[in-house]
Amino acid sequence: MNKLFLMLIIVTVFFLSGCLTFHKASYEVNLEGPKNGTVTMTIYDIRSDADTDKQFEEDKNSLFNFILKSDDFLKTMLDEGKNILSRELYLENKKLNGKAAFAFNDIKRVEGIVFDEGFYYLTMEVDDSVISTNGEVISSKDHKRIIWDKNFKTLKFEMLSSSYEDNGYKELAPFYKPE
C-alpha cells in the first residue's frame, strides 16, 4: 500500500474529499474478536490543497457540513463496513484536528489490516513513514509491514501523511467555528 493509497483510505474514512489533507494520522484498534472491534482514529493538522477559491469553499463545506454533521456521511461509511460511533473536529495549538471512532466486523476495513495464521499485519510501501506503533515494523526491498501477534488486543500505529514543506496548503483552523 503506498502513501497515496493510505491517504485516500484515511480521507474516505473521515474526510472524503480529494483536496483535504493532513499532517499525520494515528489509529488505536481495539479488538473484540479476531476480526471485529472498534477504531479511534485521530487526524492532525487538516488543511486543503485547493487551487481555487471555489475548490477551497467546497473543501470547507465537505468537512464542516457533510463529514462533520451529515447523516448521509454516516450511511456512506456504514455501506463501507464502518459504523461511525463518534466524529468531531477540534482546535489544538491553532491547528485543526479531527477524531472519529467506528465499529467494524472485518479487520480489513481498517486500512487493509489482515489477520492470518495468528498474526495481524498492515502492508505498505517502503517509503511510507511509520511514526510509532506497538507492533513490529519489518522492511524488505519492496514493502514495509507492521506485524502484531494474535495476543494483542489493541493495535496502535501512527503514520506521517504530509510534512507541508512546500507551503502550498491552506489552513482550515481559522474557519472552524465550534458549536
C-alpha cell belonging to residue 14: 473521515
Please report which confidence band the pLDDT of residue 123 belongs to, taking 50, 70 and 90 as the band edges: very high
- 15 Ramachandran zone, left/alpha/beta (phi>0; psi -120 to 50): alpha
User: pLDDT tens digit string along 136-154?
Assistant: 999 999 999 999 999 999 9
Mean pLDDT of 31-59: 94
Residue 105: predicted pLDDT = 97
How would residue 125 be classed by pLDDT, with cut points 50, 70 and 90?
very high
Q: Which residue has the higher pLDDT, 15 or 100?
A: 100
Q: Which position has the higher pLDDT, 4 or 93?
A: 93
Residue with cell 450511511: 75
For residues 51 and 173, which has the higher predicted lDDT (pLDDT)?
173
Q: What pLDDT, on a 0 to 100 scale, did the predictor assign at position 14? A: 46
- Residue 131 confidence (pLDDT) above 90: yes
User: 164 falls in which pLDDT band (50, 70, 90)?
Assistant: confident
Which has more confidence, 5 or 177? 177
